[in-house]
Structure 1
Amino acid sequence: MKFLDQAKVYIRSGNGGNGAVSFRREKFVEHGGPDGGDGGRGGDVWVQAVEGLNTLIDFRYQQHFRAGAGEGGSGRNRTGANGQDAVLRVPVGTVVLSEDKETILADLTEADQRVCLLRGGNGGFGNQRFKSSINQAPRRANPGLQGEELAIWLRLKLIADAGLVGLPNAGKSTFLSAVSAAKPKVADYPFTTLHPHLGIATVDSRRLVVADIPGLIEGASEGIGIGDRFLGHIERCAVLLHLVDGTSDDIASDYLTVERELELYGAGLADKPRVVVVSKADAVADPDQTVAELAAASDRPVLLISAASGQGMTEVLRALVRIVADERAEDEPEDTTWRP
């Protein structure tokens, strides 16, 4: 299945049904009076997050969604049926934006979360609504109100605990395939990862959802390479794992290049907690010197890992789990319920 993380969609709510003009006509019943029913309400447009989806590919083949119109009223005070709602089913983590791509209309972060985007038009009143002591045979009814129309953007931001960042060929995909059952493409040339991947790692009976995104290069914020369009998928992460290729000639420059692109992107990525690691330890000539050099450039503790041999992998996962647990605990609202 092709990965698609944004789509433009056109939605319209249903029109309300017209009210009816009708008079009661029955044998042996004099002056039956007006009995025109109201029109039904037009259908609403909803967006709902569902489990089992991880792409917006369905919206490439259908961009227009329209709710059903309400039926008109009829005699004997019968109200028309309401129009059928239109429901856009999207993956968990989808953000609904207005046409300007800036105003957030809905942010769906939990399964089965629903948000109404457009309300259907009200049904018109039938003539029985207008009868009075001085107008006992009204011959008018209201038309139903028109529905609303809107163009929206759907943008998917994957839900993950930890995000992998680094230059192309820093070992991100290899790390993900080593700690989870995910099978991202791994090769010895740049940009083998063309779209994000999710994997679930387990350490000390704790589960950790890890997101791998395409590598960043200098100028990614200006669209060079694949650009920074996939950075939105790590905005929700509690921690970033920055992998630096230990076989690089200038390991400090590699680290600073990625950090600079994260800062230029914004969205709080530069302020997220970090775990910095030197990858490909099995191919590093002088591991201690490499770690010391990166620690001086990053001003952070640096770990040494090798996805091929398994060196340091458990320690890195434990460090990620500790930070995720701390960050998620801070995000949970404090329970102020009074108890005896």
Structure 2
Amino acid sequence: MELLALFLAALAVILAIPVPKLLHTASFRGRSPWAAMVLWQAIALAGGLSMVGAPIIYGLAPFGDSLPHALGGAVQLTLTEDYESLGQLDVHPQHIFALCLGLLLGGHLVLTLARTYFRVLGARRRHRQLVDLLSTPLPNTVDDADTQVIEHETPLAYCLPGRTNASSVTVLSRGLLNTLSESELGAVVAHEQTHLRQRHHLLTVTFEAWYRALPWLPTNRYGREAVLELTEMLADDGALAQYSPETLLRSLALSSFETASHRDAPGSALEVDEDVPATSNTLITGARLQRLLAPTEPLGKLAMFGVVSSSAALLAVPTGLLLLS
């Protein structure tokens, strides 16, 4: 049990510091953002399980040779309040400290995720009420999407996810409509609709919660930035399925300051809530521009298989050790 705890602790450190730093600048993320997204999800889940599981397993080590046996012994001792037997089990203060640390850390992560999720839901609900009050529908949009127009001169476009795609909405400003051509506007709407269709907000809110829980951890900081970038690349791919890279680039150039300018605009009737993770194409990184300016071939089947297999292995190792130990 103690060796298992040591292995999980080492895995947590590796996934928390060196691996995110390397993956954050990996060149393949622009070629196959979907594969990079899968890998980031695996790293976050495996790192979280290892980080929480290592101190718990170490703390339970004196209570049994396997995790179920040790957990049962610890629960039974707590229920019977037979604390005198702790000395016979060779339980030391460091075991109690490690067990409490693991439980507190796990609880902190879960509660932060729940708190962030409900805060985001509330913020989006308030924002949607303002949009419904101050906007007018835009007819003839792609896929008959629910697209609303607000009377504001700043070129901006963003999406507000709902519980289902049918309850989601894409918001455009009058300034954007006056700036973009019909094809450029279609590319923007297709980009935002891809965000909604692929439920990117579920990915961003999870990494936002991990970042808020442990902002000093490299994997959370790099992961949050990477997921925002990757969701934008995936949304670009959705737009590129219907429009040319040149059209998408022009639309980005003309509306690239959308949400940031909208938030800072004096007297704006709508304000982007700080609790809502960004899901707009304001995030224009070098890697994102590079793949639009000079598209490259996506990863081959063998490379994709390697990334997916590595992701599955990363997730299976701590999960299997915790369940089967």
Question: Is the shorter-chain TM-score for this pair beyond 0.5, marking a shared fold?
Answer: no
Q: Which has the larger radius of gyration?
A: 1
TM-score bin (small chain): under 0.3
TM-score relative to the length of structure 1: 0.20
Greater strand content: 1
TM-score by length of 2: 0.21
